[in-house]
Chains A and B, each alone.
Chain A
Amino acid sequence: MKIIVCIKQVPDTTEVRLNPETGTLIREGVPSIINPDDKCGLEAALVLKDKYDAQVTVLTMGPTQADFALKEALAMGADEAILMTDRAFAGADTWSTSLTLAKALEKMDFDLIIAGRQAIDGDTAQVGPELAEHLKIPHVSYVEALEKDENSLILKRRFEDGYHKVKVKTPCLITTLSEMNRPRYMKVGLIYDAHREKEIKKITFDDLDIRKEEIGLKGSPTKVKKSFTKGAKTAGKLYKDLDEKEAAKLIVEKLKEKFII
């Protein structure tokens, strides 16, 4: 079984601090991590590797620094890593990203593609499903559990109010939730192997059958018109010396005022 896991290197938003004076995000010195949903997707692939001897390849598109995320994936147990990097890929929105990834993936052999549900920096949840559409393969999103059944996968897909149990034939694509597992740690020996014995394969624009206009910023139909930091809320109001009944009444009134109830 050949599995390709698409990962994204993102800033660790839990480590982002606010500048107390300007109220803006301090981006400097924020460590980069593997997007949590993607990391759980990688763990799901590694569980399949442990059980069925699957071959796991990790793929990312990003600047050359993204090889740190790929090395982490290798140190967790992935067999192979591919970095798609080129100036022509820069500034891509989800459409252009998924198209670029698809152009690389259509030349590769796979039974299953795993992508995380969404990235913590963009939160779109679009790249995985779009990728499946470009590749014309079935996809199941929001997967919380999976089992292999010969040439199919049996998946538990989460909905707001329940689950679907879905059987899907391979090759297919799934998007995974970070609630599905707890990713394993890297192993010391595999960290050494990732740096000393394994090579990260690079894919650039020249390797893809596509025109420059179709990808990167030029190929992105989404244009960011304005980027701004959300204004801070006003300070709350403190009501003191209310008994329980008065407090409950006040809360209900305030919620009605704000059209929440």
Chain B
Amino acid sequence: MNYNLTEEQKLLKKLYKEFTVNEVEPIAGEIDEEERFPVETVEKMKNNGMLGIPFPKKYGGQGGDILAYIMLVEELSKACGTTGVVLSAHTSLCCGPIYEFGTEEQKQKYLEPLAKGEKLGAFGLTEANAGTDAAGQQTKAVLDGDHYILNGSKIFITNAANADVFIVLAMTDKSKGTRGISAFIVEKEYEGFTIGKKELKMGIKGSATCELIFENVKVPKENLIGKEGKGFSIAMKTLDGGRIGIAAQALGLAQGAIDETVKYVKERKQFGRSISKFQNTQFQLADMQTKVDAARLLVYRAAFNKDNRIPYSNEAAMAKLFASETAMEVTNKAVQLHGGYGYTREYPVERMMRDAKITEIYEGTSEVMKMVVSANML
């Protein structure tokens, strides 16, 4: 095993860091306060080739790999959890299934502009009554000539208000349960497709999480991904990949909180000396960094497996479980080490703690991750 970064990865990390420090960090507080989607950052990411890193150049991508892409999610999330998840949902959840399961025509028509960053992607699986129990889908797709007619709604859809292309799961044969679910590519301009209520959230406030409403939406037959009835399997595999992205987001949030805390404890003085001189501070920081490094190894291993076509579902679940719980624990401790100031919006750790919570919930809760991991053991 090799734990060292290649020269190529070092240069990528240098770019990611410069970009995050100059473009993401200065507006992270503002987009949280204003609950504003970071349109300008997405535009800049497009200009620097950051919206299609793991896809081949012939489909508009950069010819990189999953590890290079999730390193960017990690770096962005050090400063801003919102920006991290915008990239993760676009790349893993929308570009990912088109690349892995789409036809050549679908890749040319949809993946190319998505990977180039000309269009932004989203993914719609969750419904009001179908969260972890994804099989309870109410959204229906009925074949009518050369189109499917979609009716129903989705909730909690990341990037929804700003996306152009959506992967939507819908029931094509209710009697078959999960085997009756199919996946479709839906464009935002399709008649009858509207974006509904925007959620008011605890964290990742800039990420425009909304409802999708389908009222007799005509989706061309050629926009079916894979075969009818394969949607559930496509969604689950897509989420396996997505979890590496969310784990990287959690990892970034945790590392960002540590970096802020290290700065703070060196500046803050109590009882006549810097609080970094107290052993409690030192031990807390040591625990925090050790866990974050352990999480990083799990996250990079999952990405490595995916890049090398080694099964990664279990590794992705472990990475997400551990990284997200570490993020919650570490951001909580970061706030504690900041004392009263940590509870104010003057310091970013307050935002990081709110942002971290969602990583234990979306794209499979911690409990679901435990189900995946234990299923591989028993």
Contact = CB atoms under 8 A, between A and B. Distances in A.
A187 B49 contact: yes
Interface string B1-32: 00000011011101100110000000000000
B57 interface: yes
Contacts of A203: none
A186 B57 CA distance: 17
Interface string A165-208: 00000000000000000000111111110110000000000000
Contacts of A188: 12, 15, 48-50, 53, 62, 64, 68
Given A75-B11, A186-B11, A192 B64 contact: yes
A163 interface: no
B63 interface: yes
A195 B49 contact: no
A75 B13 CA distance: 13
A191 B57 contact: no
Interface string B342-356: 000000000000000
B119 to A, nearest CB: 18
B91 to A, nearest CB: 12
A190 B68 CA distance: 14
Nearest to A67: B7
A189 B11 contact: no
Contact of A192 (B10, B19, B50, B63): B63
22 contacts: A68-B7, A68-B11, A71-B11, A72-B11, A185-B19, A185-B48, A186-B14, A186-B48, A187-B47, A187-B48, A187-B49, A188-B15, A188-B48, A188-B49, A188-B53, A188-B64, A188-B68, A189-B49, A189-B57, A189-B63, A190-B49, A195-B8
Given A186-B15, A188-B50, 10 more contacts: A68-B10, A71-B11, A185-B19, A186-B48, A187-B47, A187-B49, A188-B53, A189-B57, A191-B8, A195-B11
Give 10 nearest A-B pairs by CB, closest first: A188-B49, A189-B62, A195-B8, A186-B15, A188-B62, A189-B49, A187-B49, A191-B11, A185-B48, A187-B48
